[in-house]
Amino acid sequence: MTPAGMTHSQLGDARSGKLADNVSGFGRALRRAGVPVDAARMALAQQALMLTGLARQDFCAALQAVLVSREQDRAVFQELFNAYFRNPELAQKLLAQLLPSAESKAQPARRRPRVNEALAPLRAARNAPAAREDDTIDFDAAMTASELQRLRHADFNQLSASEYRLVERLARDIALPLPHYAARRTVVGARGQRPHWAGAMRLAAGTGGELLRVPLLQRRQQPLPLLVLVDVSGSMERYTRLLLAFLHAATAARHAGGGVRRDVFAFGTTLTDLGAAFRLADTDAMLEAANLAIPDFAGGTRLGACLAQLRTAHARRLVGRRTQVLLVSDGLDTGSPDELERELAWLRRHCGRLLWLNPLLRFDAYAPTARGAAALHRHAHGMVAVHNLAHLQDLAASLVALLRATGRR
């Protein structure tokens, strides 16, 4: 007997009965909610259920262990599981049918937008065939100009699941050309001021020793070093993934200029170096690696302690007071105010410019009154909103304007 009091002969083969269909449908709903679920995970879920049985707690725990690999997806999984399998007598009712649409509308206001949208196709599943996922994505990509304009100005925290995925893809195409500076090393160039005698001799060797042209040396133009600090606390959950995807694509060497130096850290209750993840070429692979590397995702924020870790263990990442620091946070700090003041003062002294990227600027009447926000406001050279696509597109212009305002080129 299974834990639910039913034999395997009564349940039938999970690979061919309605259990397999229901679990597959639940996996498709998770995928629509933004949880990465592939065919391999679904096959593993079927095997796990054959081993654990159909008691509700074991059923939920087995699916969560197999289908959820990111901390930020656990709450979505739990809400979607409770909505998809509402009957508490799961062992006896799971094989019957999908839930009626009347039951799925019981508490729509309490569910996350991602969960509501993921459940929407199930309400019409018995009356109309479900659209293929590829068709849905093509439809989203072919949005009208007015819809794209609305998404450009939509707050990331208010997007539905499909809108969030589309905005994430659009954010990866936004360029962030970093300001350049004249390095000490030189290259051959038309605007050089010093003769390049070694190059002149090589040219003369090809013309029988006759010197026809003297190439000139000019200082190499290099993008300013970049240090990114990203808040991964609970209040920043909806912004973190999208901003990491944007920063990964926008600061890649092929977009920001060859030879760009970028160091990326995530901070919450501790500091996490995301350098290895950001060295991956694929943005989706970077997000997966970052999720595995961050131990305190959706926790609290102790920026002062994290900056102390940066000072003691990674101070060399700040190169010659030229490094531009992008600090992505809402400023809701729970650590020691004195430590935060001290560490922010150190960071300002040892970097080129400190730019605070604040998603709370989406509120017109926003004022940095919280202790952490007030400290950031005092020490940052500038504050920029990053809560929608339009402001991400303005970020490069904001960087250039900040440098010009403070006398840097």
138, 139, 141, 147 alpha-carbon torsion, rounded to 10°: 180
pLDDT score recorded for residue 149: 75
pLDDT score recorded for residue 16: 45
Condensed to tens digits (0 to 9), the pLDDT of residues 382-400 reads 888 888 888 887 876 776 6
- The residue among 18 and 191 whose pLDDT is bigger is 191
- For residue 378, pLDDT over 90 is answered with yes
- For residue 209, pLDDT over 90 is answered with no
CA 234 to CA 121: how far, in whole Å? 29
- For residue 165, pLDDT over 80 is answered with no
Instruction: Give the start-end residues of each E strand in 176-277.
Output: 180-188, 194-195, 216-223, 226-231, 262-267, 271-273
pLDDT score recorded for residue 4: 43
The lowest-confidence range among 38-52, 107-121, 297-311 is 107-121
pLDDT score recorded for residue 267: 95
Q: Which residue has the tokens 């799961």?
A: 90
pLDDT band at 119 (very low <50, low <70, confident <90, very high): low
- The residue among 330 and 98 whose pLDDT is bigger is 330
Q: Is the pTM of this model over 0.75?
A: no
DSSP assigned state of 15: T
pLDDT score recorded for residue 136: 40
**Mean per-residue pLDDT, 40-65:** 84
- For residue 26, pLDDT over 60 is answered with yes
pLDDT band at 194 (very low <50, low <70, confident <90, very high): confident
Domains of the chain plus CATH, in order, are: 8-128 (no CATH), 182-222 (no CATH), 224-405 (3.40.50.410)
Supply the mean pLDDT for the chain: 77
Cβ–Cβ < 8 Å for 357, 328 = yes
- Helices 18-32, 74-84: axis angle to 10 degrees equals 140
- Closest to 214 measured CA to CA, from 204, 205, 228: 204
pLDDT score recorded for residue 1: 39
pLDDT score recorded for residue 134: 40
pLDDT score recorded for residue 241: 86
pLDDT score recorded for residue 45: 86
Condensed to tens digits (0 to 9), the pLDDT of residues 212-226 reads 888 999 888 777 888
**Mean per-residue pLDDT, 190-199:** 86
pLDDT score recorded for residue 114: 57
Cβ–Cβ < 8 Å for 108, 75 = no
Condensed to tens digits (0 to 9), the pLDDT of residues 280-292 reads 988 888 989 999 9
pLDDT band at 403 (very low <50, low <70, confident <90, very high): low
Instruction: Give the list of residues 6+ apart from residue 226 with CB closer than 8 angstroms, or none.
Output: 178, 251, 256, 260, 261, 262, 263, 323, 324, 326
pLDDT band at 337 (very low <50, low <70, confident <90, very high): very high
**Mean per-residue pLDDT, 299-325:** 91
CA 118 to CA 138: how far, in whole Å? 17
pLDDT score recorded for residue 137: 37
Cβ–Cβ < 8 Å for 217, 188 = yes
- The residue among 72 and 118 whose pLDDT is bigger is 72
**Mean per-residue pLDDT, 227-248:** 89
**Can you read off the two tokens belonging to residue 197?**
């005698």
- For residue 6, pLDDT over 90 is answered with no
- For residue 123, pLDDT over 60 is answered with no
pLDDT band at 56 (very low <50, low <70, confident <90, very high): confident
Question: Helix and strand tally (H, E) in the chain?
Answer: 21, 9
- For residue 404, pLDDT over 80 is answered with no
**Can you read off the two tokens belonging to residue 305?**
């302690």
- For residue 101, pLDDT over 50 is answered with no
